[in-house]
């Protein structure tokens, strides 16, 4: 990742689809002195995403793109990101798969958080699959995004222990708490901070 010059923070966009609790924790982090990034744009594929409320609360620009025509939405997205001088993208519960072409344009500049210990349990319904396999541990991973789903270089992981009476819901909540700590840590790590 490029070196930070002066006190300029790296202009970042966060992509969401739902609640946006990771977005909220990233906004909080971005406002701290030690953060190398500022959050300047929120993108969602879902106009009903609860997380979009944070755009209003924190006065951050936002755009909803429905991705029904992926190529059109992504072309639009590229223009928006360029216009707003966005240098980095954080996927935070973004449930659409970006095209190879889009990822190539932001090569090495897109991060994702996934609620499993990758390379195990890529894709959807992670927690129920983990429980069905009677795993003793699960966790979360922050990784660079490449053209293969949930397969880019791993930056950081956090392991959590699965309890005897664990449900998919309780595991999701337990892991989410760790996600909120792990994403900022991973950002500091890629900037060597
Ligand atoms: C998080 O657990 C995130 O890891 C997961 O969706 C949740 C979003 O929560 N992402 C994926 O499953 C991506 N494949 P949030 O909207 O409260 O941040």
What the chain holds in terms of domains, given with CATH numbers, is: 10-190 (3.40.50.170)
What is the DSSP-derived secondary structure letter of residue 45?
S
Task: Record the tokens describing residue 44, joined without a space.
Answer: 């969602």
Active site residue 127: no
Residue nearest to atom 6 of ligand 1 (CA): 93
| Cα 33 to averaged position of ligand 1 atoms, centre (Å) | 26
- For Cα atoms 178, 183, 188, give the angle at the middle one, nearest 5 degrees: 130
Please compute, for residue 75, the number of CA atoms within 13 A of its CA located in the half-sphere on the CB side.
5
Kindly report the pTM of this predicted structure.
0.96
Q: Indicate the top mutation candidate among 17, 25, 39, 93 to test ligand 1's pocket, ranked by most ligand atoms within 8 A of CB.
A: 93
pLDDT score, position 4: 57
Is the pLDDT assigned to residue 3 strictly greater than 90?
Answer: no
Q: How many CB atoms lie within 10 A of CB 98?
A: 21
Confidence grade of residue 72 (pLDDT, cut at 50, 70, 90): very high
Mean pLDDT within 52-80:
97
Q: Is the pLDDT of residue 5 over 60?
A: no
22 neighbors 1 (Cβ within 8 angstroms): no
> How large is the average pLDDT for residues 40-61?
98
Nearest ligand 1 atom to the CA of 16 is 16
Q: What length is written for the chain?
A: 193
Could you count the other beta carbons within 10 Å of the beta carbon of residue 8? 9
Q: DSSP label at 192?
A: T
Nearest-5° angle of CA 36, CA 37, CA 43?
Answer: 165
Q: How many Å apart are CA 186 and CA 182, to the nearest integer?
A: 6
Cα gap 133→115, rounded to integer Å: 16
* 176 pocket-lining for ligand 1 (C-beta < 6 Å): yes
Q: How confident is the model at residue 11 (pLDDT cuts 50, 70, 90)?
A: very high
- Write down the pLDDT at residue 1: 60
Q: How far is the CA of 115 from the centre of ligand 1 (A)?
A: 7
């Amino acid at each position: 990742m490029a070196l930070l010059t002066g006190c300029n923070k790296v202009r970042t966009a966060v992509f969401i689809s739902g609640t946006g609790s990771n977005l909220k924790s990233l906004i909080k982090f971005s406002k701290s002195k030690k953060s190398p990034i500022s959050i300047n744009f929120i993108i969602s594929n879902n106009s009903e995403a609860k997380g979009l409320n944070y755009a209003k609360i924190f006065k951050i620009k936002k755009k909803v793109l429905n991705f029904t025509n992926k190529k059109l939405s992504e072309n639009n997205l590229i223009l928006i990101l360029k216009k707003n001088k966005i240098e980095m993208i954080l996927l935070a519960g973004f449930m659409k798969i970006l095209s190879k072409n889009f990822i190539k344009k932001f090569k090495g500049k897109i991060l994702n958080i996934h609620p499993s210990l990758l390379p195990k349990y890529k894709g959807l319904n992670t927690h129920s699959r983990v429980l069905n396999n009677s795993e003793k541990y699960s966790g979360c991973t922050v990784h660079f995004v490449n053209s293969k789903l949930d397969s880019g270089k791993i930056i950081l992981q956090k392991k959590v222990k699965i309890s005897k009476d664990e449900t998919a819901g309780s595991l999701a909540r337990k892991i989410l708490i760790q996600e909120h700590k792990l994403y900022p840590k991973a950002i500091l790590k890629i900037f060597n901070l």
